Amino acid sequence: MQVVSLGDLALDVVVRVESDVARDADTPARVSLSAGGQGANVAAWAAALGASARWVGKRGGDAAGRLAAETLQRLGVELVGPVEKTGNGVVVSLVDSDGARSMFPDRGVARLLEPVELRAPWLACDHLHVSGYALLAEPVVRAAVRAIDLARVSGARISIDLSSWTHVRAYGRTMRPALARVAPDVVFGNEREWDELGALDTTTRVVKRGARGITVDGADHAARDGDVVDTTGAGDALAAGFLVGGPEVALEAAARCVAQVGAMP
């Protein structure tokens, strides 16, 4: 199975605090660096679950971009797309003692991907997954739509993740027409993201419900039991698992992700 994921490749900085955050003072923490970004996370988990995985996007050739790219390549993911000299994205994830996380993304050059920079062979696949962040602004939204058109030529199924309720609220006027235009086969989103988006005609609607599991077209599937260390990337692992093997593999991948630090497998 060939899975292609279009979206961001970022340097992920995960900060796990060991106490309440002390404003204007020091807070003990453990800090780790890895590759991240929704598009990259899905590709990495798809590879870990046995699929052939390719990431498509624009990235920076700076230190942050090189570190992120090398990490993704070590995980068995093929990287394609234009490389700028600087400006790779960086995402800071602040993880509290319960494993809940707040994210601070700087998307860098990822949002500047142009439709003319895509190549048809990159999009030849069984399934194309598009990060919702790619539907929020020009010119990457046009690139995402072009990628979907190219993938459909090879008979690919299309999935999209809504990504963030704050972005759905802020950029809904851009995202909703794009979703209507591409008519995805599967859409992933948590409860708040779906509330912000509203009704959407799609073949499969996946509602991510955290510790309560997922709901797929109205049918509930319980989450796997296990320790929660860090929820960063859990939704991306879940999406990859769903594409590779359906709800059960999705829930297993999410459980693996939250039991470790960081978003990558």
Cβ–Cβ under 8 Å, residues 206 and 189: yes
pLDDT in tens, 56-109: 999 999 999 999 999 999 999 999 999 999 999 998 888 777 667 788 888 899
Give the residue, 175 or 30, on which the prediction is more confident: 30
Token pair recorded at residue 113: 């991907």
- 120, pLDDT greater than 70: yes
H or E segment at 219?
strand 219-221
pLDDT at 27 over 90: no
pTM (predicted TM-score): 0.89
pLDDT per residue as tens digits for the range 167-205: 888 877 777 887 888 889 999 999 999 988 887 777 789
Flag whether pLDDT at 164 surpasses 90: no
What confidence category does residue 253 fall into, taking pLDDT thresholds of 50, 70 and 90? very high
Report the CATH superfamily, name and number, of domain 2-9+37-89+107-258: Ribokinase (3.40.1190.20)
163 vs 4: which has the higher pLDDT: 4
The proportion of the chain whose per-residue pLDDT surpasses 90, expressed as a percent, equals 60
- 10 closest CA partner among 30, 33, 34, 37: 37
DSSP codes joined into one string, 18-74: SS---TTS---EEEEEEEE-HHHHHHHHHHHTT-EEEEE--EE-SHHHHHHHHHHHH
User: What pLDDT score was predicted for residue 94?
Assistant: 85
Q: What is the arithmetic mean of pLDDT over 237-256?
A: 96
Q: What is the mean pLDDT of the chain?
A: 90
For residues 140 and 110, the answer to whether their CB atoms sit within 8 Å is yes
pLDDT at 44 over 80: yes
> What is the average per-residue pLDDT within 220-226?
91
Strand 83-84 and strand 77-80: the pairing is unpaired
Residue type, 109: V
Q: Are 8 and 39 in contact (CB under 8 A)?
A: yes
Identify the sign of the CA torsion 53, 55, 60, 64.
Answer: negative
CB count within 10 Å of CB 253 equals 25
User: 145 versus 95: which is more confidently predicted?
Assistant: 145
| For range 44-53, the mean pLDDT | 97
Question: Quick one: pLDDT at residue 99?
Answer: 65
Q: Where are the domains of the chain?
A: 2-9+37-89+107-258
Q: Above 90 in pLDDT, residue 219?
A: yes
pLDDT band at 250 (very low <50, low <70, confident <90, very high): very high
Q: Which two tokens stand for residue 168?
A: 């759905």
Q: What average pLDDT does range 226-231 have in this prediction?
A: 82
| 122 vs 167, residue with greater confidence | 122
In the numeric block, the tokens 């190219």 are attached to: 150
